[in-house]
């Protein structure tokens, strides 16, 4: 399956009379390519609170405050992980991704055991859209995911590693959460 370079994003809302309308229909506007790893991170939408404010025509994906949502908020991202060899990964510092995500991604319980290891204080719903990928937790075990697989992740240390020869695209919905560990 060919992955389009752009992801079409359609956002609906209401006009002044309450009629349902399309607010946005086009390429996703907020795309960040991580220079070192080549990971493509697309913010699709975010809400800074729950219940979410769904009034008004503003594009809530224009400004990006980082991977984790605001306190009490949510964010929806589509992330594309390129294939990477063990040699390429070994060239990175062990805390590469944790530092990219900021202090919220650094664990106070264990040092990163892989350059892509990180943690966010979020409840994550993940759906593998295309490709295959492995998720490493704190041990040496790798959990293999294929297109169609889903994950519910509860604030755990993890690393996404694409050992295949094709990109892997995953849709993530992040929900702000309390820290699961004291």
CA-nearest of 174, 160, 156, 41 to 96 is: 160
- pLDDT tens-place string over residues 127-178: 999 999 999 998 888 999 999 999 999 988 899 999 999 999 999 999 999 9
Are the beta carbons of 141 and 178 closer than 8 angstroms? no
The count of structural domains within the chain is: 1
Residue 139 forms part of a structural domain: yes
Residue 3 forms part of a structural domain: no
Taking the model in full, what pTM does it have? 0.90
What is the dihedral angle through the alpha carbons of 46, 52, 55, 60, rounded to the nearest 10 degrees? -10
Residue 15 forms part of a structural domain: no
111/157 Cα distance (integer angstroms): 10
What is the predicted pLDDT for the residue at 44? 94
Residue 25 forms part of a structural domain: no
| Residue 161, domain extent | 31-176
14 band by pLDDT with thresholds 50, 70 and 90: very high
3 band by pLDDT with thresholds 50, 70 and 90: low
Beta-bridge partner residues of 134: 144, 161
Give the CATH number of the domain where residue 155 resides. Answer: 2.60.120.10
Residue 57 forms part of a structural domain: yes
- pLDDT tens-place string over residues 27-82: 988 888 988 899 999 999 999 999 999 998 999 888 666 778 889 999 999 999 99
91/82 Cα distance (integer angstroms): 16
107 band by pLDDT with thresholds 50, 70 and 90: low
Residue 142 forms part of a structural domain: yes
What is the predicted pLDDT for the residue at 64? 63
Residue 167 forms part of a structural domain: yes
At residue 101, the 3 state secondary structure works out as helix
Residue 73 forms part of a structural domain: yes
21 band by pLDDT with thresholds 50, 70 and 90: very high
């Amino acid at each position: 399956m060919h992955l389009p370079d752009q992801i079409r994003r359609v956002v609906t809302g209401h006009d002044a009379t309450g009629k349902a309308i399309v607010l946005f229909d086009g390429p996703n506007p907020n795309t960040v390519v991580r220079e070192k790893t080549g990971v493509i991170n697309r913010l699709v939408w975010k809400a800074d609170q729950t219940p979410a404010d769904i009034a008004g025509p503003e594009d809530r994906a224009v400004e990006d405050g980082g991977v984790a949502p605001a306190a009490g908020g949510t964010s929806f991202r589509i992330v594309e992980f390129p294939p990477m060899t063990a040699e390429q990964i070994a060239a990175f510092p062990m805390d590469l991704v944790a530092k990219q995500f900021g202090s919220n991604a650094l664990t106070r319980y264990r040092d990163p055991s892989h350059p892509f290891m990180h943690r966010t204080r979020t409840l994550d719903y993940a759906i593998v859209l295309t490709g295959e990928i492995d998720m490493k937790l704190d041990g040496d075990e790798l959990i293999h995911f294929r297109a169609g697989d889903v994950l519910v992740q509860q604030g755990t240390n993890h690393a996404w590693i694409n050992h295949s020869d094709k990109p892997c695209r995953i849709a993530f919905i992040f929900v702000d959460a309390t820290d699961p560990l004291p």
